[in-house]
Amino acid sequence: MLTDPIVALATPPGRAALAVVRVSGAGAVEVTARVVPGLGRFPPRVASLARFVEADGTAIDRGIATVFRAPASFTGEDLVELSCHGGLATPTRLVAALQSAGARAAAPGEFTRRAVLNGKLGLLEAEAMADLVDSTAPRQADAALDQLDGALRRRLDALRARVLDLQALLTYEIDFPDEDDGPVPASQLREAHAALLDDVRRLLATAPQGERLRAGALVVLAGRPNAGKSSLFNALLGAERALVTELPGTTRDAVEAGTTCEGWPVRLVDTAGLHDATERLDRLGVEVSRRYLGAADLVLLCVDGARELEGEECALAAEARTVVVRTKHDLHEAPAHVEGITVSAVTGEGLNALRRVIATRAFGHGSDVIEPTLLRARHRDALAGAVEELASAGECLGEQHDALLASHHLRAAGERLEELIGTVATDDVLDRVFASFCVGK
């Protein structure tokens, strides 16, 4: 493991009141002291006002320096945190001076990787930190914080302990194969195994919802030309993103924008109206619409007023993931006694109700989801592996009782769980986790 001093800007570059630069590694304090005179004498964990200078003494800035001595730091190494004025020039100059003083520019995620390797942070918590930073919607942040607090790890630790318990019970049978009655009857063993498999499967079943929470639900506005899709798209976003005209066929390409509904993350897509296009460009537009429809988590089928559904609309409306939206309600005097949610892009009527429907339909029943949820493909793959091994173990506990083979599968299931928790993280796993981190994290 590398322990050389690394440096990076921890805040995004650009105009801001403050910027934070971090230096971590063996000799971090000595290296930084070349830029921050007197740093070696600063008391640890105390914010001290300091001057930042280049090698020839040229002033860079005045700011706050805080020294964290190993192992009581984020990375577990000696770490210095410098707050300077924000913007482009000053932080860049400070980082350059620290590099000249002997620190290497950090690789993406290198600070967090060192924290994990030094046992300061679990792998699941490191992933959660990345998710928290990437969150654009409050519910995403809730789930990330939950994982950072260890909810998923505690659940996995408990499952892992139950696998070990089962293994222990089997050991007796393996060691004394001729005894008729072990410490527990075979039926009890099978029951414990079945309950465990059930619980692991239940956790695995949260994966689609969790991954949707991380990525945002794909919500596609579809319908006939001129149905009011683009107007509704703009109204939901609160911004004039898509062109609107009275001419049918205004939208030809799909337009995607991120937004939130009741705090849940949504990728909203406006599409070209569905019709039998004859012109080449129109046809291409309709093809794009169909591709998005194929991938949609939720379809908002826009229908002008109380008009009867026809042809393709009927088929779409019959799908479980479709919500019928009756548009332009301000133009239709009589209340429409028809299926669907009535909205008006002009008056804003019905928009909040529609947002609520999007949230519940795309993410299930609100608060249920914040139970520990599998948020990543890595979690899903590892847990699916554990389910497979547990199922195999179950077969060995049935009619053709084979305690030795069952124990082998249980051990493999336990290893999948450990891999997920990160107890035995290999370089491959670490590379995969930290590939998506940004520099300075």
* Site of interaction with ligand GTP (CB under 6 A): 225-231, 244-246, 248-251, 273, 327-328, 330-331, 344-346
Strands 6-9 and 104-105: parallel
Q: What sign does the dihedral 126-433-430-413 (CA atoms) show?
A: positive
By the rule CB under 5 A, 234 interacts with Mg ion = no
CB of 326 to Mg ion, least distance (A): 17
Q: Which two tokens stand for residue 307?
A: 């008009």
Q: Are 90 and 66 in contact (CB under 8 A)?
A: no
Query: Residue 289 binds which one of ligand GTP, Mg ion, none, with CB within 5 to 8 A depending on kind?
Result: none
Indicate left, alpha or beta for 306 from its phi (over 0: left) and psi (-120 to 50: alpha): alpha
Report the residue number, 83 or 231, with the smaller CB distance to ligand GTP.
Answer: 231
CA pair distance 395, 29, nearest whole angstrom: 58
Q: Which of 107, 148, 106, 142 is nearest to 127 (CA)?
A: 148
Q: Is 206 in the site for Mg ion (CB under 5 A)?
A: no
Smallest distance from the beta carbon of 256 to Mg ion, in angstroms?
A: 14
**Of 245 and 352, CB closest to ligand GTP:** 245
Q: Is 91 helix (H, G, I), strand (E, B) or coil?
A: helix
Cβ contact 132:149 at 8 Å: no
331 binds, among ligand GTP, Mg ion, none (CB under 5 to 8 A by kind): ligand GTP
Q: Contact region for Mg ion (CB under 5 A) — 76-84, 222-230, 298-306, 350-358?
A: 222-230
What's the angle, vertex CA 23, arms to CA 18 and CA 27, rounded to 5?
150
Q: How far is the CB of 432 from ligand GTP (least distance, A)?
A: 41
3-state DSSP assignment of residue 218: strand
Q: Nearest distance from residue 106's CB to ligand GTP, in Å?
A: 47
Task: Give me 3's structure tokens.
Answer: 């322990």
50-79 binders of Mg ion (CB under 5 A): none
Instruction: Determine if 250 is a binding residue for Mg ion (CB under 5 A).
Output: yes
Closest approach, Cβ 266 to ligand GTP, in A, equals 18
The DSSP secondary-structure symbol of 149 reads: T
Q: Check residue 249 for interaction with Mg ion (CB under 5 A).
A: no
Closest by CA to 129, choosing from 141, 117, 137, is 141
218 vs 236 by CB, closer to ligand GTP: 236
Q: 409 touches which of Mg ion, ligand GTP, none (CB within 5 to 8 A by kind)?
A: none
Q: Identify what 412 binds: Mg ion, ligand GTP, none; CB under 5 to 8 Å per kind.
A: none
Residue 196: partners with Cβ closer than 8 Å, 6 or more residues away: 159, 162, 163, 166, 390
Nearer to Mg ion, 160 or 252 (CB): 252
Residues 373-412 that bind Mg ion (CB under 5 A): none
Q: Given the rule CB under 5 A, which residues bind Mg ion?
A: 229-230, 250-251
